[in-house]
Amino acid sequence: MIECGRFPAKRTVGDTMNIEAAVFADGHDSISCRVLHRFEDETHWNFLPMAPIGNDWWQATLRVLRTGRYFYTVEGWIDRFKTWRADLKKRIQAAQDLEPELIIGAGFISQASERAAGVDAKQLEKWSEAVRQGNIDIALSDELFAAMQAWPDLTLATRFERELTVWSEPVKARFSTWYELFPRSASGDPSRHGTFQDCEALVPYVAGMGFDVLYLPPIHPIGETFRKGRNNTPQAEPGDPGSPWAIGSREGGHTAIHPALGSLADFQSLVSRARASELEIALDIAFQCSPDHPWVHDHPEWFRKRPDGTIQYAENPPKKYQDIYPLDFETPQWRELWAALKEVFEYWIEQGVRIFRVDNPHTKAFPFWEWAIGSIKEKSPDIIFLAEAFTRPHVMERLARLGFSQSYTYFSWRNTKREITDYFTYLNQAPLRDYFRANLWPNTPDILPETLQVGGRPAFMVRLLLAATLGANYGIYGPAFELVENTPRAPGSEEYLHSEKYELKQWDIRSGSSLRDFIARVNRIRRENNALQNDHSLRFHETDNPNLICYSKTADDPGNIIVVVVNLDWAHTQAGWVTLDLSAMGIDDSRAFEVQDLLSGSRFLWSGPREYVELTPLSLPGHILRVRRWARTERDFDYFL
């Protein structure tokens, strides 16, 4: 129950949700309770019995089977028949006279037959007569008890006062692998602007590394006024392409395509080509406008004005963004503005886009997101929204409650064992884990962390291993990542030198030093192991070396158990002992077990919770270990090999 039911919980298709409630009554009578649930297009309730788990707590497990909204609540009642049945067993043990009790029980059953329908009503009436005649076997039978539970006496029932909601989203909301690519650099020639057709040619490259989401920065016309130059200089030189986030020119705004990229038909072809390779196109939505955007001329009332009447450009002091105007979500004409912004999403949905990465949603009105996302999901429940919200925790969490399917996180700045352990323990606590889904990015066009700047190739491998195994959702900005691009604009800066945000780039994706094979191997491991496709099972384990971090994940199917050990020191070999909480992973600590390193293919026989690990960052900075089989003795292991 998120904020007393104010917001929905989240699941993806096929997931389960444990619903618990404290249900109790005065006196000593037995009680029963159930979950009432229905999909949004159903008019009747379905019933799911709850089972006691101790101390007046009851639980039921609901599985969501399709995208959309499920409603649910809890109902409990005094169960006279259950009380009578329990007392009857005691009377039998005490050898008491049962005839009066059987008559009372027969009355309960007869009343249930009047509530029942069809064959149940007739069967209950037969059982009532049999119990009245003294048939104790029927009185205590499981068949009768199940029928009585199906047709309860709800005279003294109490129903929770609120109908709660769970949003069921596509599986990609829980498990996805993102690759960010600037289409304008897709040509491979810095003198020629890339096109959607060039992007199509790169689809096999991206899909071959195991990514399933191809994320494109804004594809719209770019303004000329105050266009930014290379390295974010305030003055553009002739031929500088400007920032894709300075959206809008005389060619159009948020529903237009940059002419150099191609036509709408070309974009639709890219969407189809990507989907044929099991890639979904994710589109960047940035609600801001260049001074040349048509809205600036047609709807000046949608922007804030300075005292001199000119439109206020974007600022984050001391930074100035003269090439973009922020929209005023508090304008008196907010209804018209909000409708226009929602129509932007709807337009691209019509073109086949199912995933949106939303730029800086925390700088826009919260009520807008709740309304817009809710309205869109009512018509298209399979749409996924990623919040690019590098902001304060409460703000990020609020956006998730308002409807965003996923969110960027602080992972880029969590490097030490303590930082990583504390942060991901926090992300996996209730109720946050029921609505907030982390998407982990080692780098972005805006963020080149110091770790990558100084750690070189081993640091890139370490950060990818962490992102891909700590999180079920992760992404990289490429080809900068696989080509180990790590030169900052200036010391202490997280901006790239010669950032692709302000110029066309040439990437040698065939470079022999590329990490593409390593990335492909990690992504294949993710696809083949369900344990790595969830976040809720993440558990950290002890190590005696602060440079080694160890954690595990398990699938809902207990047959898939993954243990990850990573060397956080990209410059030196590190060794130490890990101590696994075997019982938490469902492993019998009295038997030896085999693990296979899915990265190297090596197999090890482990016995007991404590094992020695040594990792060299220049060769392989981590293990992704799958528990492969149980072994009674070392001879069993030798025979298996």
Instruction: Write out the catalytic residue numbers.
Output: 359, 388
In the Cβ-directed half-sphere of 106, how many Cα atoms lie within 13 Å? 18
How long, in residues, is the chain?
641
* H/E element, 149: helix 142-150
Of 425, 419, 373, 375, nearest to 400 by C-alpha is 373
Question: What are the two backbone dihedrals, phi and then psi, of residue 612, each rounded to the nearest 5 degrees?
Answer: -95, 140
Within 236-286, residue ranges assigned H as helices are: 264-276
Can you give 31-81 as a three-state secondary structure string? EEEEEEEEECCCCCCEEEECEEEECCEEEEEEECCCCEEEEEEEEEEECHH
DSSP annotation of 113: H
Contact predicate 322/354, CB 8 Å: no
Of 636, 545, 560, nearest to 598 by C-alpha is 560
- Residue 195 CA to residue 190 CA, distance in Å, equals 13
Strand arrangement of the beta sheet that strand 574-579 belongs to: 603-606, 592-597, 622-631, 561-567, 548-554, 539-543, 574-579, 610-615
* H/E element, 139: helix 136-139
Of 561, 563, 565, nearest to 544 by C-alpha is 565
Q: For 41-69, b where at least 16 C-beta lie within 10 A, e where not — what string? A: eeeebeebebeeeeeeebebebebeebbb
Question: What are the two backbone dihedrals, phi and then psi, of residue 362, each rounded to the nearest 5 degrees?
Answer: -70, -10
Can you give 500-562 as a three-state secondary structure string? CCCCCCCCCCCCCCCCHHHHHHHHHHHHHCHHHHCCCCCEEEEECCCCEEEEEEECCCCCCEE
Integer CA distances (angstroms), 328 to 137, 325, 363, 371, 584, in order: 74, 9, 10, 17, 51
